[in-house]
Structure 1
Amino acid sequence: MKVAFASRDGKRIDEHFGQCRTFSIFELNVEKYKWLESRSVYVEDEAEEHESRIARRVEAIGDCTLLFVCSIGSDAVKRLMKDGIMILKVEPESEVIPQMNRLLNLLRERPPLWLVKSMRRSGDWDE
């Protein structure tokens, strides 16, 4: 499954979803994870309408199953949930790699139901 992180530098989760211009994307399965790419959100106008701002970001991570953010508004939460993307809110400045390590350990040991459901939704869980 693909995991997105709202991050300026790809190393720390340090962005509010609605202002995030870059998402760091990882691939995760029960054996390993790997970084895939950074995805930029094109922002033409800083005064962009609220709905458009959310839609651009949802579109950028639409193939992801999980999203890590430090802050997110309720409208964005509703839209992401509707699109099947689970949101994990973490402390600002949390590091990306330790979060990926935690997910991998959860998958290997005793995955919680929310993680199993996410993996099934992405087609990466056969059990």
Structure 2
Amino acid sequence: MSAAMTREAALRVALAARELPDVGGAALAKAIGDRLGLPLGESRLAAISVDDLREILGGSHADENCVIGASDEQLKRAVRLLWGQGVSGSELPALDPYDEGDLPGSIRVACASNRGEEVDGHFGSCERFLIYQVNTTEIRLVATRPTLEADAAEDRNASRAALITDCQLLYIQSIGGPATAKVVRAGVHPVKAPDGGSARLMLERLQQALNHPPPWLARVMGCTPDLAARFMSEDDVRDEDAELADKPA
């Protein structure tokens, strides 16, 4: 796999190429990269329209007459695959239906991930952030945000932090001091889970804390004026929850 393309993007391009007569995967990847720019990740592919693909295939890097040989239905199927719809073997988990306002009283949580719905990534090297909307009764995966394009920026940590500025919490296995400062400055509270594990299991524990949030979580939720700047581990979260449970409601 080229360093200019994520594994997921490479899979989508290869599957889309199969829908187009006489177009090879390498030629299609180069044509899309020339049109949209590199690095080529899921976010760029998600922006492609049928008209874009028709013009891309007509470029100098596509096989000759490929547009004439592709019907509108073939172009539509190829675009859906580039978006990730119905991609068999995708390493990305399926998103849950979500419209803004669906989960009253919810918070948004980012999880550093390299595979599936696992928290298994370092902030500076994870392949993507999984974005969840969480309230006391539901957990929904609402977005996946690849980090490859952020790594092309001059300040990688700041660019990665910019991907999750709409989140209140970030679960990661590890993160360095300078990166922590940039994440907190972006208004996001980092929670370290050194052993990693299932994102949903971690969020289920968070759900329990949302009913009676400890002081640090109350600040993150906006119940008090200032965002907590302390850096805590999952064990700290559970310890504070236990302390709160001993107090009267």
Instruction: State the identity %.
Output: 32
Q: Secondary structure at the match of 2:145?
A: strand
Q: 2:202 aligned to 99, 113, 117, which one?
A: 99
Question: Deviations along 1:23-47, whole A, 9 cap, x unmatched?
Answer: 000001233221111111134878x
Task: Indicate yes or no: 2:170 matched with 1:67.
Answer: yes
Q: Answer yes or no: is the 8 Å Cα contact 2:171–2:191 preserved in 1.
A: yes
Is the alpha carbon distance of 1:119 and 1:45 closer, same or farther for their aligned partners in structure 2, counting shifts above 3 Å? closer
Matched ranges for 1:43-58 at <5 A = 43=149, 49=154, 52-58=155-161
Return the alpha-carbon distance in structure 2 between the equivalents of residues 54 and 82 of structure 1. 12
Counterpart in the other structure of 1:79: 182
> Which structure would you say has the larger Rg?
2
Q: Which runs of 5+ in 1 are unaligned?
A: 122-127
Which residue of structure 1 lines up, in the alignment, with residue 94 of structure 2? none
> RMSD over aligned Cα, in angstroms?
1.9
Asked whether the equivalents of residues 66 and 88 of structure 1 are also in contact (C-alpha less than 8 Å), the reply is yes
Considering fraction of residues, name the structure with more helix.
2
The CA deviation at 1:19 is 0.9
Match 2:127 to one of 21, 24, 33:
21
User: Which is bigger in relative contact order (C-alpha 8 A, separation at least 6)?
Assistant: 1
Letter in 1 for 2:123: F
The question of 1:37 aligning with 2:143 is answered: yes
In 2, Cα distance between equivalents of 1:34 and 1:45 = 27
Structure 2 CA distance for aligned equivalents of residues 11 and 30 of structure 1: 20
Pair 1:10–1:112, CA change in 2 (3 A)? farther
**Unmatched tracts of structure 2, length 5 or more:** 1-106, 224-249
**Aligned residues of 1:10 and 1:96 also touching (Cα < 8 A):** no
C-alpha separation in 1, matches of 2:179 and 2:198: 23
For residues 210 and 203 of structure 2, the distance between their equivalents in structure 1, rounded to whole angstroms, comes to: 11
- Describe the superposition over 1:81-104 as per-residue Cα deviations: whole angstroms up to 9, x where unpaired: 112110100023321011110010
The 10-residue stretch of structure 1 (111-120 or 62-71) with the greater mean CA deviation from structure 2: 111-120
Number of positions where the alignment pairs a residue of Structure 1 with one of Structure 2:
117
> Larger strand proportion, structure 1 or 2?
1
Give the equivalent residue in structure 1 for 2:117.
11
Specify the SS of the correspondent of 2:115. coil
Is the 1:10–1:24 Cα contact (8 Å) retained in structure 2? Answer: no
Structure 2 length normalisation: TM-score? 0.44
Taking structure 1 as reference, are residues 15 and 112 closer, same or farther at Cα in structure 2, changes over 3 Å only? same
**Structure 2 vs 1, CA of residues 44 and 93 (structure 1 numbering), >3 Å: closer, same or farther?**
closer
- The SS at the match of 2:219 is helix
For 1:58 and 1:115, the matched residues in 2 are separated by 20
